[in-house]
Each structure stands twice: as structure tokens, then as C-alpha cells.
């Protein structure tokens, strides 16, 4: 049952193809869009973002019902999809556009993101410091159509990429 109280959550976690599927399958998640955010150019293309000249990160923007799937659960799922200690990208994808970030849309999200990041740091799960940054959300630009729902459209390539990049093994080893 919808409450009409939908919210947005925005995360960068390396390749956006790999960030859609885990969220897309959850109850209360209405939409997951791949795109770009955090940079200084308007309406960047994939090629421009990959050139590392726009300041944008590959990201996903999630529309969710907080009464069904609260932001705390979204944060927990997010952490389990990334290597939060890598400041240079994610897995074999290197560069600023592949770094991790939580983009908060209001003060409550900011506080919850900081709390979860601190808890992860204090947990001792990782020996290196948590490198994921927490930033205020800015304009989100949806990626080109062929990048949307990539895991559904190109499932074999997606599975090979997820495994070949090292993401899947890392997640299994560190997050279970």
C-alpha cells in the first residue's frame, strides 16, 4: 500500500550498473535510475563523465517509500554493495567518477548517513578508514537509456562484469 510520501536517496558506488539490481528488488523501492551527479557540468554524457573532466560520479537515484523501506535499511544495503575503504574508485573501475558517496537530500538523511558511516568505522570490519564521503545532493542527470536497467537488458554481460570486476567476490567475502 502506497503512502504517497515517497523520498529520494542518491548513492555513488562505482559502476552504476551494479548498484541498480540490489535496490530494485526491495519492497518499497519504486524506482532506481542510473545517472550522474556531484559535478560542475550540465547534462553530462557517459563519455564526458568517464573522461574525468566533469566532476560527476556515476550514481543511482532511488525513489522509495520510507514507511516500507526506511533510509536506515537503504544505507545498510548500500554499504554491502561497495568497498567503502577505497578512495580511488571501485574494484577495477578507477578514477573520481567511480568513487563512493552518499548524497543526502535533507538533514535527517545526513545525520543517518554520518551515524551509519561512524558505526561502520567503529565496527572494526575494515582495517582501513572509511573513504566514502557524505555530500549534499545536487542535480541528478539520468544516464543514457541503454544504461538504465542494464542488469535486466544485458544479464549475461552484467553477471560477467560484476564477477570479473572483483565486486562479487569482495561482497561475498566482506558482507556475506
* pLDDT value of position 94: 96
Distance between CA atoms of 8 and 71, rounded to whole angstroms? 9
* pLDDT value of position 176: 84
Q: Which residues are catalytic?
A: 15
For the CA atoms of 75, 176, 132, 110, the dihedral, rounded to the nearest 10 degrees, stands at 10
Per-residue pLDDT of the chain (176 residues; tens, 9 = 90+): 344 799 999 999 999 999 999 999 899 999 999 999 999 999 999 999 999 999 999 999 999 999 999 999 999 999 999 999 999 999 999 999 999 999 999 999 999 999 999 999 999 999 999 999 999 999 999 999 999 999 999 999 999 999 999 999 999 999 98
Quickly list H helices, the chain: 17-24, 46-50, 71-79, 107-123, 150-153, 155-164, 167-175
Answer whether CATH 3.30.1060.10 is correct for domain 7-175.
yes
Count of C-beta atoms within a 10 Å radius of residue 79? 22
Contact assessment for residue 67 and residue 28, using Cβ atoms and an 8 Å cutoff: yes
Q: Longest C-alpha distance within the chain, in Å?
A: 43
* pLDDT value of position 2: 44
User: Structural domain boundaries of the chain?
Assistant: 7-175
* pLDDT value of position 25: 87
Amino acid at each position: 500500500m502506497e503512502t504517497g510520501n515517497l523520498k529520494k536517496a542518491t548513492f555513488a558506488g562505482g559502476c552504476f550498473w551494479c548498484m541498480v539490481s540490489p535496490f530494485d528488488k526491495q519492497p518499497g523501492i519504486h524506482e532506481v535510475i542510473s545517472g550522474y551527479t556531484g559535478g560542475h557540468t550540465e547534462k553530462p554524457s557517459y563519455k564526458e563523465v568517464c573522461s574525468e573532466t566533469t566532476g560527476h560520479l556515476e550514481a543511482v537515484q532511488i525513489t522509495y517509500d520510507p514507511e516500507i523501506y526506511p533510509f536506515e535499511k537503504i544505507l545498510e544495503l548500500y554499504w554491502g554493495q561497495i568497498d567503502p575503504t577505497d578512495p580511488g574508485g571501485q574494484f577495477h573501475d578507477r578514477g573520481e567518477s567511480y568513487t563512493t558517496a552518499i548524497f543526502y537530500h535533507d538533514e535527517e538523511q545526513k545525520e543517518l548517513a554520518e551515524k551509519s558511516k561512524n558505526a561502520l568505522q567503529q565496527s572494526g570490519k575494515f582495517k582501513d578508514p572509511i573513504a566514502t564521503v557524505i555530500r549534499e545532493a545536487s542535480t541528478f542527470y539520468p544516464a543514457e537509456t541503454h544504461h538504465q536497467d542494464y542488469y535486466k537488458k544485458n544479464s549475461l554481460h552484467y553477471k560477467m562484469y560484476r564477477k570479473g570486476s572483483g565486486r562479487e567476490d569482495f561482497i561475498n567475502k566482506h558482507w556475506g
